């Protein structure tokens, strides 16, 4: 089943979406990983820190998603079954720490799609990049995601 080209490389970005970071979500995320670092969990430690509040763990921004689009919007657009998807690679670049109460704007686009045949058969690789900016339009973080689809 080839990847559908209706979300082509260099095509338009997904609709930008905003996320307001909730204090409880940061803590829930850190605890789910089992990372009990007080800079993620302790409001007093956060308030006394250089950031003036708790911060999100490095991989937290990968959870940002467009609530309006619903789960699996990208997969639907690509004509892909979620059972055939694997996470291939992930990169996160952090310019500024994410803190509670801030509202961030996320812009994602597909930058490459290619196919390769591996040990387990033919696979498609979908490369996406996300830029996260704050209210003043400054870059806070960027991400690069590679999703692997078993064809």
Question: Which residues contact another protein (rule: CB under 8 A)?
Answer: 25, 28-29, 31-35, 37-40, 49-51, 55, 57-59, 62-63, 65, 71, 82-95, 97, 144, 150
In the bound state with another protein, the residue whose beta carbon lies nearer, of 29 and 109, is 29
CB of 65 to another protein, least distance (A): 6
Least distance CB 139 / another protein (angstroms): 13
Closest CB to another protein among 21 and 85? 85
> Tell me, what DSSP letter sits at residue 95?
S
75-111 CB burial, b ≥16 within 10 A, e <16: beebebeeeebeeeeeebebeebbbbebebbbebbbe
**Residues 80, 150: Cα–Cα separation, whole Å:** 9
What does the DSSP 8-state code read for residue 7?
Answer: G
User: What minimum distance in Å lies between the beta carbon of 91 and another protein?
Assistant: 4
């Amino acid at each position: 089943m080839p990847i559908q080209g209706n979300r082509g490389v260099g095509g338009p970005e997904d609709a930008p979406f905003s996320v307001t970071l909730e204090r409880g979500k940061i803590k829930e995320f850190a605890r789910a990983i089992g990372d009990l670092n007080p800079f993620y969990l302790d409001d007093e430690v956060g308030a006394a820190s250089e950031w003036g509040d708790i911060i999100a763990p490095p991989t937290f921004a990968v959870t940002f998603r467009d609530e309006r689009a619903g789960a699996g919007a990208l997969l639907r657009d690509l004509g892909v079954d979620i059972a055939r998807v694997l996470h291939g690679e992930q990169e996160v670049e952090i310019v500024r720490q994410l803190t509670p109460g801030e509202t961030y704007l996320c812009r994602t686009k597909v930058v490459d799609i290619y196919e390769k045949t591996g040990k387990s058969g033919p696979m498609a690789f979908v490369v996406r990049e996300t830029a996260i900016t704050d209210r003043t339009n400054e870059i806070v973080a960027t991400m690069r995601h590679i999703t692997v689809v078993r064809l």
